[in-house]
Amino acid sequence: MPADSVSVTGWGRTAPTTARLVRPRTYGEAAAAVRECGARGGIARGLGRAYGDAAQNAGGAVFDMTGLDRIHAIDAGGGTVLCDAGVSLHRLMEVLLPLGWFVPVTPGTRYVTVGGAIGADIHGKNHHVSGSFARHVLSFELLTADGEIRPVGRGTPLFDATAGGMGLTGVILTATVRLQPVETALMSVDTERAVDLDDLMARLTSGDHRYRYSVAWIDLLARGAGTGRSVLTRGDHAPLDALPPRARRHPLAFRPSRLPAAPAFVPEGLLGRTTVGLFNELWYRRAPRARTGELQPIPAFFHPLDGVPHWNRVYGRGGFVQYQFVVGHGREETLRRIVRRVSERRCPSFLAVLKRFGKGDPGWLSFPVPGWTLALDVPAGLPGLGSFLDELDEEVAGAGGRVYLAKDARLRPELLAAMYPRLGAFRSLRRELDPRGVFTSDLSRRLGL
């Protein structure tokens, strides 16, 4: 099977490493790639939307699974789909929405594969209601280090280790996923402003139960009385009777729009404090103080950045760090302190969002736990960024929280066990299942997974 030596990065475009990129087109070729990956091992990769180094493998093999992208069966009555792990959420939406079904969980991009969604146990704006992606997976087939294909069902240790296991238990080949019924491809959206962080948390706590989807954009450059000022957006799938007559003709039409791609070269420092500060001011001021029932297309509500191909280039060649953590209920003061510290340090982040997590899922390395999660992006070249984020890691770990491995590129390994209490069980199962360390990534070597 041909393989190319290529430089590989995550979506944040930091810490590139060189690996052999193998592109299997059949399950047999995937098994052969695993058996022949060599001393440096291999790791599965989908569409490359993990922000950090989870799908990189310096000096080893990276298995590009996007060639395995068949949809095998749809149960339009029962609401399930059986598909290859290389199928994207975008493709599922194209096929399923006309049938009245939607994916159960989607992150901020639809350009992730089903295999990646399971491996990272992705979450979305509906975690407080629906949990993370693996909660809706009924079973999957896993190619393990011995080259064998194993059926894996819910409630088994191998399922729980693979959900959120960042591809380190094996290569997911197929999955059966339970779907969400919808009447239209539009969302009914309520938007409101919050004047500061406490106001935002109060609104989320008192009102999230009324909505399936909820997320808040936060201005992390605002200081003083406006620290944590936000735009809160919540909604649900619009019922057919909420659509105007013209829209009812094709209520399930899925037509994402696309803008021109971001340029290949962007000057360093474009997203500095001045430009991001101006953007944040305009974004907050243009948001309505309170608006209800606005109809928005699914792409606009869930995936606005997908309309700009290669938007990650706007951070320049140095790339950016996406930092996401969660702290539990009762640890709100830790969240407040971190928001104040980021604000006082003037970190130029225009993609900062706060959500509430509901009940956690059984994945041993699954990220969500009940509480508050904040995600922010910052240019990787920001002076002193590494030491500053190290300090935030200490605060998060001290509060019993954790960082999201699918977005991480720099966590210190000594904090991992405090953040993920099932780490010991995960390592033990990996040693039993993969004693030669066939499945390896830059992330697993860095953190000792």
Q: Report pLDDT digits (tens) over 207-235.
A: 999 999 999 999 999 999 999 999 999 99
What distance in Å separates the CA atoms of residue 241 and residue 85, rounded to the nearest whole number? Answer: 36
CB 30 within 8 A of CB 143: yes
What distance in Å separates the CA atoms of residue 437 and residue 430, rounded to the nearest whole number? Answer: 8
What pTM was computed for the model? 0.96
Q: Report pLDDT digits (tens) over 115-172.
A: 999 999 999 999 999 999 999 999 999 999 999 999 999 999 999 999 999 999 999 9
Residue 155 is predicted with a pLDDT of 95
Q: Report pLDDT digits (tens) over 226-267.
A: 999 999 999 999 999 999 999 899 999 998 988 777 777 667
Torsion of Cα atoms, 27 then 28 then 31 then 32, to 10°: -140
Rounded to a whole number, what is the largest CA-CA distance in the chain? 62
Q: Tell me: pLDDT of 407 over 70.
A: yes
Sign of CA dihedral 412, 373, 399, 420: negative
Q: What is the mean pLDDT of residues 344-361?
A: 94
CA nearest to 13, candidates 43, 44, 46, 56 = 56
What distance in Å separates the CA atoms of residue 142 and residue 162, rounded to the nearest whole number? Answer: 9
- Within 13 Å of residue 284, how many CA atoms lie on the same side as its CB? 24
Separation of CA 142 from chain center: 21
Q: Tell me: pLDDT of 374 over 80.
A: yes
Q: What is the mean pLDDT of residues 403-410?
A: 97
Q: Report pLDDT digits (tens) over 428-449.
A: 999 999 999 999 999 999 999 9
- At position 117, the amino acid (one-letter code) is A
Q: Hunting for tokens 């953190």 — which residue is that?
A: 447
Q: Running DSSP on this structure, what letter comes out for residue 377?
A: E
Q: What is the mean pLDDT of residues 326-337?
A: 98
Which position has the higher pLDDT, 4 or 44? 44
- Within 13 Å of residue 8, how many CA atoms lie on the same side as its CB? 32
Whole-number percent of the chain with pLDDT over 90: 90
Q: Report pLDDT digits (tens) over 165-221.
A: 999 999 999 999 999 999 999 999 999 999 999 999 999 999 999 999 999 999 999
CA dist 185 to 119, 211, 288, 300, Å? 27, 17, 23, 11
What distance in Å separates the CA atoms of residue 211 and residue 207, rounded to the nearest whole number? Answer: 8
Q: Hunting for tokens 């000022």 — which residue is that?
A: 229
Which position has the higher pLDDT, 300 or 314? 300
Sign of CA dihedral 401, 407, 412, 416: positive
Q: What is the mean pLDDT of residues 90-102?
A: 98
